[in-house]
Structure 1
Amino acid sequence: MEKKPNRLLQESSPYLLQHAYNPVDWYPWGQEALQKAKQEQKPILVSIGYAACHWCHVMEHQCFEQEEIAQIMNEHFVCIKVDREERPDVDQIYMDALHAMGLQGGWPLNVFLNSDAKPFYGGTYFPPQNWIQLLQSIANAYQTNRQELDQSADQFLAHLNQSELAKYGLTQANADFNSVAFEQMFQALQTKFDTERGGTAHAPKFPMPSIWSFLLKYYHHSQKPSALEQLNLTLQEMALGGIYDQVGGGFARYSTDEAWLVPHFEKMLYDNGQLISLYSEAYQVTRNELYKQVVLETVAFVERELTSPEGGFYSALDADSEGVEGKFYVWTQAEIEQHLGKEASLASKYYNTSTEGNWEHGLNILHRRQTDIAFAADQGLSLEELQEHVQNWKDTLLLARGQRNRPGLDDKILTSWNALLLKGLTDAYSAFGDPNLLKLACTNAEFLLKNLYVNDQLYRNFKEGKATIDAFLEDYALLIQAFIGMYQANFDEKWLTVAKRLTHHTLQHFFDPAEDLFFFTSARGEQLITRKKEILDNVLPASNSVMAHNLHYLGLYFDKADYTQLSEKMLSKVRDLVVQQPSHLGNWASLYYLKLKSSAEVVIVGPRVHEFRELLQQHYLPNVLLAGSKESPEDPVIPLLEERSTTAGQTTIYVCQNKTCQLPVHSVSEAIAQLQNL
């Protein structure tokens, strides 16, 4: 029987399109569906997921593709499908509602609302029989106990409308940024460390880059060996584990076990962008070649598999291929031997594969238990010999893997996730000086400017030549951050000018002066049942913590005291929670570090400006603003460049802090010495 399409066929989201031939009468989120619920006084089912979500696919196949189940859904509910990556505002509200119900969150997220879009019940994945029973009992309750359900919905809405600051008991601002509290953050974080396999204790394990980025800053401040040891342990174990694609580069979303062996195989752009930044910064501190390898291989993966012809970056690769999770990435021992021939024995030791397999069904997840130096020594090989073998294995297996059925590609382009990858590229360029990294970054930055920032309006998504959804605070904040990174990478003032313009827009349309924080949604956008603020850093840093960083940097670049003061106010609001729970506010903890000691400003002027910049950026300088120009500009956009000129006809470096400057110097080594003395 030929399947008929539903309304979702008109959508651009790959996730919604996956459901376009379900017998369920799906609506996309919007006024048409909400009005229908009001007119017919029906409950609303909002089902939220994303294209790379394994259990979303399972529930679709088991429930939403079944005629019998679809009939119940269509008869009793107005059914709405939401891509959480396109509409994080909707997802955020109903996920918060689920938590208020005392239920565990996750995706697929299925929430039942009354006809006013207020939630009264929800859950995640349901097997078919449980789903049928739930649908029938809710349909019956909505007919017979509507008043009780509405009262329950009003109570949940009251919870949703509670201030985030009040929810976490943050009634008093605290602007005391001192070293003792900074040390307390490390001590609180240390209690959560897995000192055997890295990361924080217990499975599942997520990379959580903002925690380890803070740890780098803490180590830079304290020089405490235990901080660097935990950081190195974490980054090495992730890089050697199955969570990292040993053949093709790039990280999966998380590990299901404590040893980083068995990933949930979906690969997300936002993880890889942040991890490129983290490993690049860690390389600046440690000069560990493994970190450089991880960065360059991950960038190569993004170029190869997630880059659009126009220079945008796609969102994700599915965990599944041919309906089986991980099938694209795993190997039988017979396949290893078939493809690698006489090299298979050594490769099997290197990647820990066997006939029995190290995963399920006799399959192997390629992973390593030793660094190349240790493995080469054990096998009586030189490091160069081993690395030549390894490169050949990777090339051969990547080619063989390319013949398999590929995982689904989520080919929508999201502003915020592109911005994270763009920031990763500028951080990698700083660490390694590879001009190809800067070229890729420039192409992406220009793509975002051209296609997602149109007529002073920023959009969230781009697909098939169209941007349709207004941007959220996350998009503004992360794009501003990326453009600050672009300026530091090539000293083109255009990027700071655009960053300042975007910041002005957020202050006009997202800012809440009552709490000195930003709403996630614009005052000009669609008005949902509540307007949320993001405070906690998660797999993505909270949009408020990113904006506080941006205001700190732009305040210094443009000499705008109101920006730097607002940044301090924002941090002071959450300061006590940061000290108590840095694992949930890692990016805020990094901002605390910036406030602990005044930022230094380094200005380079002269013909060797880019050479000096590259040499400076090889160092880890987490609390330094860089600015520069080939010539002393007559009317600079950035006040930092005013009255800066070469001395003695040589490229000159000015190191300043708190509006006080050191003597100008003419070499990077002298500037580094001055920074260390600060």
Structure 2
Amino acid sequence: MADKIPNRLIKESSPYLLQHAYNPVDWYPWGEEALQRAKQEDKPILVSIGYAACHWCHVMEHQSFEKKAIADVMNQHFVCIKVDREERPDVDAVYIDAVHAMGMQGGWPLNVFLTSEAKPFYGGTYFAPQQWVQLLKDIANAYKQNRQELDETAEQFAEHLNISDLQKYGLKQNGHQASEEELHQLYRNLSKRFDKEKGGLSPAPKFPMPSNFLFLLRYSHHTQSELALAHVNLTLNQMAYGGIYDQAGGGFARYAVDANWLVPHFEKMLYDNAQLITLYSEAYQVTKNPLYKQVVYETIRFVERELMSEEYGFYSSLDADSEGEEGRFYTFTRDELQKLLKDEEPLFSKYYNITAAGNFEHGRNILHRLVSDEAFAKENELELEVLQEMVKEWKRKLMKVRAKRIRPALDDKILCSWNALMLKALADAYCVFGQRRFLEMALKNADFIFEKIREGNKLCHSYKNGKATIDGFLEDYALMIAALVRLYEVTFNEEWLIQAKRFTDYTLTNFLDKEDGMFYFTDKTAEKLIARKKEIFDNVIPSSNSVMAINLHLLGLYFDNETYQQTSNRMLDSMTPLILKEPSHLSKWAILYYNKLTPTAEVAIVGKQVPQMREEFSVFYLPNMIVMGSDHKSKLPLLADKIPVNGKTTIYVCYNKTCQLPVHTPAEALKQLQAGQQKSKFPVL
């Protein structure tokens, strides 16, 4: 790039912005300098939003933003701003909402045209080069010729953006009480979207959406619904067998473009893999399916190998493309496999469904499975152990080949919220499998966050090159609080819970809208955009409000804090009508609905054998429970007055601050828990 002159993005740390630093487009990062220039020159603004692992973002860059003739049109008529949506989710949320309000499908790249006051009047996603140039010229002309009309349109969109989703959907307090019938109704509405052949939710493309299946695990546990559990198992098996899962190296791609989970969009995101570690860990707890354990272990190895920094922070993502082709790093031709595996290639190709023609572009194959190891071994007259050893050796050889290939680009910024998801995932996996390495990774990551991304009780959103930047958003606090609660539950180190409470109190002071009881996405001290949004819909990452509502429910119990409980109840009360109608987009809220339906169990373990007792508890799937423990004096209200009976480690099972008779084994406590959380009869559909 010696012959190219860099633009302003060269001074940024975001890998996505740096990808555009040598474009001939006169890009600005989002900030006051660009906005002031637009006002001074009375020019419209083009905001182009994407992220480093986004395939079509790269395509549009190569086709349009790298071309001088197109860049000249952009530079002449617009002030051009590039935004990394992962770094500035607040900016992204405003303008993707605007595009939806225009009646268009949102997505990335997101290209939105604004007045000089940053108010949107037109937008879209990917545009082919000729279409893009024509659009630029049409908008530049309209901005000069029909300015008043555009300003009026922009004003209307700005007004729309300031209407909260609660107002939009007519959601308000109504004193709603959770009921069994509504829980079944919620399930029935979710089940209408089940793909009963290949799992997941129809139609394609298919995103994993872990919260949907975490809810189904709870619903199945509560109702003993075999249908709900069967759909979880179908989905998790098909994803683990499919091309969406990296069969050689572990870890999941962002989504599958087809209904069979075969052809992924090959980018690998930290947030997907973290949540899927949690989901497969919980599913193993319920089913004891060894495939789920394998997926968890392999996915954590992938994250450790390819997304973990030397400081124990976790990077954001791996790109879909390498060598100019999507998926090239992960796929193989039949010829490559024959040279590598020789006599074993036919069996390998049968196991992973490899063909000479390939099942992907350029004659390449996406590795995928169709049956279990048990079924394959039986069909091919192999001992199961022999097959599994062969598979391990095949994977080792494939990874050796991949190690010599040109790697997909790494987005090496470290985001607080996504690290919190991974921190919780490691704690979840440790809880279920007892693998000490998982806990050590979690603790090192927690220490990194506290040392590098936290300032007192404030969090920063992004970290790169030794520097933390951007005020924390609600998602940073909400997901970090959830991770710290979980970290407490697997260590019983009360400092983690106390810090979770400090962050919670900070959010109540700086993010809560006391009028409607929901939290804004941005801190009250943050940069003022044209709208201050609230995030309520669960997407590939659960909404920050649903996570906060659960946090407040749990911490309200841990600290006997009525304000927390009331705030959580108020949030759920407002959301309930929408949860019942649209559970697939509100499944984290549905989990809270389940938690509120029956009292959350409060389990206290006191005495010298606390760690061992906690480990024994992890064998059981007990999703509506808080657990605490101490072998000394505790600051927690629910542990105050609880002492070992007759010098033995003692377990207290309590509901609504009322405790049952103390017992000395997890098995005895389990009987009390099963009696306390009555199962409801599952209605036949």
Q: TM-score w.r.t. structure 1 length? A: 0.99
Q: Tell me the residue number matched to 1:25.
A: 26
Select the residue among 643, 656, 659 that pairs with 1:658.
656
Q: Match for residue 119 of structure 2?
A: 118
State the distance in 2 between where 1:456 and 1:354 align: 56
**Deviation per residue, 1:12-33 (Å, 9 max, x gap):** 0000000001111100000000
Match of residue 286 from structure 2:
285
C-alpha distance in structure 2 between counterparts of 1:610 and 1:315, whole Å: 33
Deviation sequence 1:502-542 (CA, Å, 0-9, x none): 00010001000110000001111000001110111110101
Runs of 4 or more off by more than 4 Å in structure 1? none
3-state secondary structure, aligned to 1:125: coil
| Conserved? CA contact 1:173–1:575, under 8 Å | no
- Letter aligned with residue 580 of structure 1: K
SS in 1 for 2:441: helix
Aligned to 1:675: 673
In the alignment, what sits opposite 1:569? 570
1:256-276 CA-to-partner distances (Å, cap 9, x unmatched) read 000000000000000000000
**For residues 467 and 24 of structure 1, what CA distance do their matches in structure 2 show?**
28
Displacement of 1:173: 3.1
Paired amino acid for 1:590: I
By how many angstroms is 1:339 displaced? 1.4
Q: Quick one: distance in 2 between partners of 1:432 and 1:667?
A: 20
* Cα displacement (A) at 1:169: 2.6
Q: Give the match for residue 179 of structure 1.
A: 180
Q: CA deviation at 1:677?
A: 1.3
Q: Take 1:221 and 1:369, find their aligned partners in 2: how far apart are those partners?
A: 31
Task: Tell me if 1:10 matches 2:11.
Answer: yes
Aligned length: 675
Which residue of structure 1 aligns with residue 262 of structure 2?
Answer: 261
Partners of 2:382 and 2:186 lie apart in 1 by 44
Structure 2 distance, partners of 1:175, 1:487, is 32
Return the offset for 1:174: 4.4
Q: In 1, are the aligned partners of 2:173 and 2:570 still within 8 Å (CA)?
A: no
Tell whether the 8 Å contact from 2:604 to 2:628 is kept in structure 1 after alignment: yes
State the distance in 2 between where 1:235 and 1:404 align.
Answer: 30
Contact 1:175 1:568 in 2 (8 A): no
Residue identity matched to 1:357? G
Q: Quote how far apart the aligned CAs of 1:580 are.
A: 1.1
1:274-423 paired onto structure 2 within 5 Å: 274-423=275-424
How many angstroms apart in 1 are the aligned matches of 2:498 and 2:428? 20
Q: Could you tell me how far apart the structure 2 residues matched to 1:246 and 1:624 are?
A: 35
Deviation at 1:172, TM superposition (A): 4.7
1:456-475 to structure 2, matched below 5 A, reads 456-475=457-476
Which residue of structure 1 lines up, in the alignment, with residue 511 of structure 2? 510
Letter in 1 for 2:669: A
CA deviations on 1:180-216 (whole Å, 9 max, x unpaired) are: 1000011101111000000011110000001000000
Tell me, yes or no, if structure 1 residue 197 matches structure 2 residue 198: yes
CA deviations 1:621-677 (Å, max 9, x no partner) are 11110100123x1xx221111112211111111111111111111111111111111
Contact 1:262/1:365, CA 8 A, preserved across alignment: yes
User: For residue 337 of structure 2, what is the amino acid of its counterpart?
Assistant: I
In structure 2, what is the equivalent of residue 646 of structure 1? 644
Q: Residues 579-637 of structure 1, C-alpha deviation per residue, up to 9 Å, x if partnerless?
A: 11101100000000000001011111111111110110121111110100123x1xx22
Cα separation, 1, equivalents of 2:296 and 2:338:
29
Residue 485 of structure 1 aligns with which residue?
486
Equivalent in the alignment of 2:583: 582
Q: Distance in 1 between matches of 2:658 and 2:456?
A: 40
Task: Give the AA of the match of 2:667.
Answer: S
Residue by residue, what CA displacement relative to the aligned partner does 1:415-445 show, whole Å, maximum 9, x if unpaired? 0000111111111111101101101110111
CA contact (8 A) 2:423 2:446 kept: yes
C-alpha distance in 2 between matches for 1:416 and 1:171? 29
CA distance in 1, matches of 2:560, 2:657: 10
CA contact (8 A) 1:269 1:316 kept: yes
Instruction: Report the AA paired with residue 636 of structure 2.
Output: I
Map Cα deviations across residues 463-513 of structure 1 (whole Å, 9 max, x no partner): 000011000001100000000010001011011111000000100010001
Runs of 5+ consecutive residues of structure 2 not aligned to the other structure: 677-685
The 2-side partners of 1:69 and 1:402 are apart by 38
Aligned twin of 1:626: 627
- Name the CA distance, whole Å, in 2 between partners of 1:16 and 1:637: 47
Unaligned segments of structure 1, at least 5 residues: none
Q: Deviations 1:152-193 (Å, cap 9, x if unpaired)?
A: 001111111112112123245342211110000111011110
Counterparts of 1:87 and 1:331 in 2: how far apart (Å)? 37
Q: What's the secondary structure of 1:120's corresponding residue?
A: strand
d(CA) in 1 for partners of 2:80 and 2:493? 49
RMSD, aligned α-carbons: 0.9
Q: Deviations over 1:14-68 (max 9, x none)?
A: 0000000111110000000001101110000000000000010011111111111
Give the counterpart letter for 1:420 in structure 2.
Answer: L
Q: Is the 8 A contact 1:426 1:441 kept in 2?
A: yes
* Amino acid paired to 1:199: G
Q: Deviations over 1:282-333 (max 9, x none)?
A: 0000000000000000000000000000000000000000111001000001
Separation of aligned partners in 2, 1:324 and 1:63: 18
Aligned match of 2:95: 94
Compute the displacement of 1:562 (Å).
1.1
C-alpha offsets along residues 337-362 of structure 1, whole Å, 9 cap, x if unaligned?
A: 11112211111111000111122321
Residue pairs, 1:162-177, within 5 angstroms:
162-177=163-178
- Counterpart residue identity of residue 165, structure 2: E
Matched with 1:211 is: 212
What secondary structure, in the 3-state scheme, does the structure 2 residue paired with 1:204 have?
coil
Task: Please tell me the residue identity of whatever aligns with 1:32.
Answer: E
Letter in 2 for 1:77: F
Alpha-carbon separation, structure 2, partners of 1:565 and 1:383: 54
* C-alpha distance in structure 1 between counterparts of 2:238 and 2:135, whole Å: 43
Question: Are positions 1:539 and 2:537 aligned together?
Answer: no
Letter in 1 for 2:263: V
CA contact 2:277–2:296 (8 Å) conserved in 1: yes
Q: Which amino acid aligns with 1:166?
A: Q
Q: Is the Cα contact below 8 Å between 1:249 and 1:298 reproduced in 2?
A: yes
CA contact (8 A) 1:535 1:545 kept: yes
Letter in 1 for 2:33: E
Distance 1:444 1:343 in 2: 41
- Cα distance in 1 for partners of 2:174, 2:346 equals 62
- 1:418-429 correspondence to structure 2 within 5 Å: 418-429=419-430
Q: Out of 144-153 and 334-343, give the one that drifted further.
A: 334-343
Whichever residue aligns with residue 54 of structure 1, its letter is: H
Secondary structure of the residue that 1:517 maps to in structure 2?
coil
Match of 1:71 in 2: 72
Q: 1:29 to 1:349 in 2, by over 3 A?
A: same
8 Å CA contact 1:653–1:671 kept in 2: the answer is yes
Secondary structure of 2:648's partner?
coil
Percent identity for Structure 1 against Structure 2: 61
CA contact (8 A) 1:615 1:668 kept: yes
C-alpha distance in 2 between matches for 1:296 and 1:220: 25
Check the 8 A contact 1:28/1:82 in 2, yes or no.
yes
